[in-house]
Structure 1
Amino acid sequence: MKAFKLACLVLCLALSSTAWAETRASVSRTSIHADESVRLVIETDGNVAPDESKFNTDFVITARATGRSINYAGGRVRTSMRYEYELSPRRSGRIVIPSLRMGNDTTSALVVDVLDAAAGTWRSPNSGAASTSQDVFIRTTVETTQPYAQQGVLMTVRFYVGRSMIDAALDQPAIEGASMQQVASDVQTSQVLNGRTYQVVTRQYWVVPDRAGIVRIAGARLVGTTAGGFFDEAFGDGIERINAVADTLVLNVQPQPSNAADPWLPLHDLRLRYTSLPQSEISQSQPGRVTLEMVAEGALPADVPELTLQASNGAQVYPEPAQTQSAVRNGRWVSTITRTFSILPTQGGAISLTTPAINWWHIENKRNERAQLPLQTLQVKASIPVSQAPDASDAKSASDTLSTRLHMSMRAWIAGGVFALCVAVIAFLVWRKKSRRDPPTELPRVHISLESALASGDLADISAALCASCVPPTDSLEVVRSRLAKPSQQEAVAALQAARWGGAATESVLDVLRTAFASKPEWVGMRHETRNSELPPLYPTH
């Protein structure tokens, strides 16, 4: 009998311990209006916090609190955690708070029915006639209510607060049938309406409808706590919960016109221009720099085509990263993109610069437009000066003048030639006599070796060393690249040119150069040299 009682006691203690370890979740109300809030309470003796993302999708967390309690039961000390959340619904209808996994325990799913906002609550009409007698209200505007599908629309939400706020949470629900992203940081200003000063928070979104048809934009919501004045605090705590909701906006999205160009690019305006062009002739040692600018009204920088530049006559074009700026002008989102290109000629002659045409749809005029810059021509400085021949009309007079001068100075030339010959003979005899007494000494050649230049990492020194080691030497990297026999070394020189004139990453280019020229440069024709030459080769082959 005693054994049976002892077993029952142990079983009761075990059940009591199990019940204590249970994780529980509850809500203060199961039915609320859209402008009200509900309190979610979670209690557990574990040390795992709730996953707020499970209920943050359908609710705005306006307040949260955490508490810890210690109890003594069954001869053991138990520690439990209590999590409290104040939740405001993002939408109407039945909302299910899913079960939450907390360690080894799981809470039960909870259901909250959200009714439409009750009459007399703080609804905020989007028109300018919104009542400024309210302490808090919201105005939402869009640049157009009839956009095309895939046309970006700027939406501006302004939160007006006429009382001191202890805390506040601003929220804009997701839009079904459209993408939405915030495009600028919040701007806080103050505004006087009907003699009352409001603190205004402006938030802007970029809304792009996915398809034609009706798209409803749920009203933005402001949930917070206001602090009352002196008399409010004297007859109460003066604290009031605020839940302001803006009216729903409706977009009547138009389909893409059947005659629109592909790809589809709806804009209010698109402008292209050259902001800088070379003012003089360009060369391999002085490449030209060209800057283009695109201004697109009604698009983000990522929505417009990339700025590119094409050059003729074999010239190489090295683009730099594009620079973007965005701003709101006259209620529209305006993106400005600038990009600079380095033009490196490879041969003489003029270079023609062209840009690809951009087809776009003019929203106001409802027609296709085409943006393209005019052709520009750059003059290339000749690497080897060439004397210009005289005009045909002046050929005879120039020939007569030259003959007269030659005839008049013939005697002086002969006398000077004889004198120069005598001086040369005397100098040769003196040099020969000296060379017999003193052994010839070879002056050291002063230049930067390729190995030292690669070790220092200076791109200018590497270029000079490659030009000096070229067979025969040259001052052009383009010539160096054409005379190299190994493709890997040719690609390394091309990367060096891109780094010097196109702004490529220096470290990555140095790695390519050091790998390609770990062995000596191999020039075209070296492989065909005869190994039986009397002189040893410049670089012994193995």
Structure 2
Amino acid sequence: MRRAPAPLIHAFVLFWTLCALVFAVPASAQPPRVWIDRDRIAYDDTVTLTMEVDLQSTAGMPSLVDLTRDFRIVDQRLEQDMALVNGQIALKIRMQLVLAPTREGTIEIPSLWVGRDATAPLRVTVLPPRNPRVVDEPPPVAATEGRPIFIEAKVDTITPYVQQSVGFTLRLYYQSGMLVDGRLDQHQPAGASLQKIGDDLQMTVPVGGRDYDVVERRYLLIPERSGTLTVPGANFIGRGMGLFDGSRHDLNIFGAPLTLQVRPIPATASQPWLPLRGLRMRYVETPQSLQVGKSVPVTVEVVAEGATAAQLPTLMVQAGNDAQVFAEPPQVDDRFQQDRPQATVVRRFSILPTRDGTLRIVAPRIVWWDTQAGIARIASLPDLTLRVAPGAAGTAAGQDTGDTGTTATASDDARGWRDWIPDGHWGWAGLALGLLWLGALVLGWRLWALRTKPAPVVALAPPGSDPQRLMRALARNDLAAIVQALCAAPAPVAADLDAIRARLADPAQRAAVDALQRARWGDGDNTATLAALRKAFASGPRWRTPAARAEPVLLPPLYPER
């Protein structure tokens, strides 16, 4: 039998798919939605406009001609979601446009027509340009002298705020084939914490017409107080090889120090303090339809530039009393992007409606400080308002069947217990004697344990620990660093937080460690957890140390001492 060619089969499948899209009756058609991330920007800033179009109720794409009168489209991104809802294909397109204003004043974003539907107009207030930026990058290290080896240090800003995460990049340049071995050291600055991020990177780059091998090391620098901050220059100690005679010689190379001017926390800043270069939020997944008794997913993504995931607040959505919200642990991705830290947090929520009608899902909202513009901003997503259909009859029947099965199981369990009840006086007497014998065994074991159990002795941190390490971790709000500092505090070191909790004598410190565990698994408030940790460990951890005791003498000595 001759088979049809593959292109013909693909065309046949595509034809019937298009027919299904065109002639399908829309199950939950929604009008197009449009929103902006903020309504006040500077002339040299941008605003992000997001439009969501449901192709079940609207044919075609929106016209963007009216936007170009007062804005320039700097960037655009198009996302497409396809799902099967009630046997029909639901296709939704989400478009994001990055707009730069062409004039100052109040600009109205006109209604955008999509087929026969139009979006609501929006207003944006464009302020004058921001003050000329302070030069926030250090001058590059000159490499025109043809040096065979040198050190370069760079930060992503030299005018950070207190507690702002600053990317610090250290690079060692050396000509290929001249380095034998060595060690690159970077000392801690006074008034700031410096933490190494990730592993060293190796690459080859051209400098001044020559190829250099480069070792790159990245750090996270967090200033702790305002004023002048000096980061000492790095030092490389090793051995090199002559490029012509092959002789070996010692190397001791120093890098230039960096000076930063740390700005204080503004008086108008909100708490908790969250300084960032940028913050983006978006819905990764939203429900198409709702029904009582059936959970649907809602996924939110946050991308923060200039921070780690531990510094971001906990992502949550609210649904009131009409639905239950079950939050999954967040998925975190910390990386360095353009020599600065960038954190991406994705969290999925399961929404379970409990009654029919209209359900409003309140989106998360994050207040942050724009370190570039010097103003407070609010990042938020539009709330979701959805219609909830009544539960199916099969669901209720299934619940009744489940209850009946539970009753039957309980009856079987009761019958099984009655078979164990003794009959007659002798049976009851034997049962009583057995219980008395078991009670005597338990009482004897408890008395022996109380006699041999050592009295707890509360001790301060052991001499070998570094109490400042925990204080530094608490100061920079880094949950991962706090866990590492706590596990390294006792001697010997603890394997995990469960071992730390077992050694702590202070109930408040144990409660703070429990809160830290919940925050790490996404079941707690990071801000409240950090406050509890600072209060509980203000004077250092208090350990429970077992008192030394002699082994009990079970038998008298064979040869008594004289």
Task: Please classify the TM superposition score into its range, dividing by the shorter chain length.
Answer: 0.3 to 0.5
TM-score, normalised on structure 1?
0.47
TM-score, normalised on structure 2?
0.45
